[in-house]
Amino acid sequence: MKIKREHLTIIVVLLIGAVARIIKFDDPNLVEDTATYARLGKNLIESGRYAFGENYNTGVFYPPGYPVFIGLIDLIFRDLFFSAKLVSFISSCVSIFLSYLIGKKLYNKEAGLFAALLFAVYPVIIIVSVQGYADALYICFLLLSILLFLISLKRNNAIDHILLGILFSVTYLIRPEGIFLLTLPFLQVFGVFSEKIEFNKRYLLRTVTLSLIFALIISPYMLFIINYTGKFSLSGKGTISILLGELSGDRKYHEVVNTPENPFDKLAYSLNNDKSQLKGWDKNATLSLKDYVLKDPVAFARKYQKNLIQEISILIKLLIPVLLPHRRSLLSYIS
């Protein structure tokens, strides 16, 4: 059987990406987050309890998606750190192929191969691909969700929306930012991905079904957060993220964390006034959004601008493998 040049090329790209990641695999990039993810996953799979920590449960901080995969892989290898990195490695290799399929779906096979090659060799992605963090797994499920959504636009199959509900929820449980995937089917209801912008009742029922599946799957995690914090929140980091953000001031995150005193951990794991629970998860604590914004509007605006620019720069770095194959289309659209 003769192998098509396209298939041979993507095989070579996958091998290049895998080798690049294998070379970086043994880099000493395991930190406290890796240990927490790993122990949470091990405890959940082996005992059914999503808990880790002597005086507090760090599971409130970390969504269970990535730890579950670590715990399952650890059943085979019995090495938590290796399992954590292996999940990232496998996820990133799969993402190379997914970027190829998405590029091909959006444009053509040349764009798909180029997107896959960039994803395979882009330094930022290679570094993330062998770390004990949730990023590589999140990117993998994000791309898989986008690919299935693109396929569903053509097939109009109700089964696709059920699968999308499952994929969206898993992506969210890896990183809460995955909830924004729900905007795709809601935009579809209003004809954003059709030839004409109009309300489409046919997609409304499917989107409601998708949303119900999403809500059902994430509900145990929502109840878990409510039990520990006493409040409904899309992420267990809500209050503590604001408290920690106040520490940075005009400095960047790594500039604060790498200082000898490192006030982040001290505040993150300090007790409330009653010494009954962590300050960031105090059920009686109230943070006023009005006071947070209006207490010092100039400082708030400066901090918002700094964080927005930082997020945009990170987003640009991550989107380069996707944007470059479509550079001609983007330039023609802009002009």
pLDDT tens for 253-271 read: 566 666 666 666 666 667 7
Task: Indicate if the pLDDT at residue 76 is higher than 70.
Answer: yes
Task: Indicate if the pLDDT at residue 333 is higher than 50.
Answer: no
> One-letter amino acid identity for 155?
R
Other Cβ atoms within 10 Å of 20 Cβ, number = 19
Angle, alpha carbons 94-51-279 (nearest 5°): 110
Instruction: Give the chain's mean pLDDT.
Output: 82
Tokens 């960031």, located at residue: 280
Distances, alpha carbon 23 to alpha carbons 27, 72, 129, 130, 329, in Å:
8, 25, 11, 10, 35
Per-residue pLDDT band at 334 (split at 50, 70, 90): very low
Other Cβ atoms within 10 Å of 25 Cβ, number = 15
Q: Give the pTM.
A: 0.81
d(CA 291, CA 288) in angstroms, rounded, equals 5
What H or E segment, with its residue span, contains residue 2?
A: none
CA atoms within 13 A on the CB side of 47: 9
- What pLDDT does residue 98 have? 95
Q: Are 325 and 111 in contact (CB under 8 A)?
A: yes
pLDDT tens for 234-244 read: 777 766 666 66
CA atoms within 13 A on the CB side of 147: 19
Per-residue pLDDT band at 10 (split at 50, 70, 90): very high
pLDDT tens for 41-53 read: 999 999 999 988 7
pLDDT tens for 279-288 read: 666 666 665 6
pLDDT tens for 143-200 read: 999 999 999 888 878 889 899 999 999 999 999 989 999 999 988 888 787 777 777 7
> Secondary structure of the chain: what % helix, strand, coil (to 5)?
75, 0, 25
- What pLDDT does residue 156 have? 75
pLDDT tens for 119-158 read: 999 888 898 899 889 999 999 999 999 999 999 888 878 8
Helices (H), 193-334: 201-229, 238-248, 253-257, 263-268, 289-294, 297-323, 327-334
